[in-house]
A and B are shown apart, each in its own frame.
Chain A
């Protein structure tokens, strides 16, 4: 049936539609660079979505937890084999994505008789200096993008663009500023996804920031308070100031509570 080229294109199109549908209720992921490191933030309902991959590499993902776990394990294996056989400095995000998981995801996506990976991945790599950090996003079809200051994952590319445009306007130098901006961006993304679900937009065809009123911080914090009724904020850092080769650490809710605005602390505790 799929031997004819048209049928194959049609099958891939259907698959895209199916996958877009799967991400509609997922929580966005935000990665932001600040002066001394990188902050990763998302929301979860119990299953973690942020992980350490290697000494200077962190991972955030959205999608099916089983697929994310499978790809995370592949990445871990690849990073450690590479680090053991060559040297830890040879383990880079670019190599892991370009020669490692992106081709695997692409192949799974295009093999229309098999199940695709229902997953979007953000791999962050801490540079030796500020400004040398790298953010790699991989879409469910294996397409990857490389950025240097921030990156996000969301249900559709329109929402991702809206979140990125918001992040671009934020002055981010300290960890506190990074946390504040990440929370507001997360709220913006989640709010846009919910609106898209309510409107029943197809193929991620949602109203974006360009035709909407700019959202103020209070509205975003109010939305976040609402989200925190059934979800928890998950937060991790790649911190250049940490002693030793490993730079990854998670931020506990207590620690987060000290930085967050007072009205967001109550739903956390």
Chain B
């Protein structure tokens, strides 16, 4: 659909012109893409560099100059003096417990809604799907007062329950498509062989959905690991704080020591970067699945 005038050009001129234009255009676009990539990582490179400096070096050297003798002691210092190890451990187990609960409960619900036969299943599914649109902040005040009455504030259970409830809708949404696509013959064969529904679910259906379970697990992991507002509101003692909130409070004590702050931040982001390095393919796939189907 080139213009009429272009169509009138002799074919040879057109052929020699177009590739050249393409090559420059391609080059410019490629540079732009690389520029965006640089912008995305440059702040992190700077963070790594200043985490290895002392204050004098941070303030007097060029921002991206690496000190001749990197102060690895910054890392040792914050790891030993702070509660980072404790926060880290809390993040790991709270993330894991909430993740396993969410994926298991979501699988139960999705199985019951898509494969079993009962009245009201579309209504129940609808209730879960409407949950996708509810902003967390609008529930924060009542949740706080409810947990206060139940003596669940400053208790990890309060944040685990909140994580599971708010992650159920997304997780079910991702699972739905896979459950609808499961062949009915498998169930029929299992029932003819005298298999109970529970046995079928645990021995046949869950293993068959293991790939999508991994995807949902990743989404849950990223969400739980980085969650801030629930922990910040419900948890007050250091022994239950997760990495996000713990780091925030820890940095408060080090307002002037840039090296210590840098090291703390690096420690808090390294685990997730490491996981990304190992499982980037799955994570990319998981994030895409978790959003598009909404």
Chain A complexes with chain B: no
Q: Which residues of B contact A (CB under 8 A)?
A: none
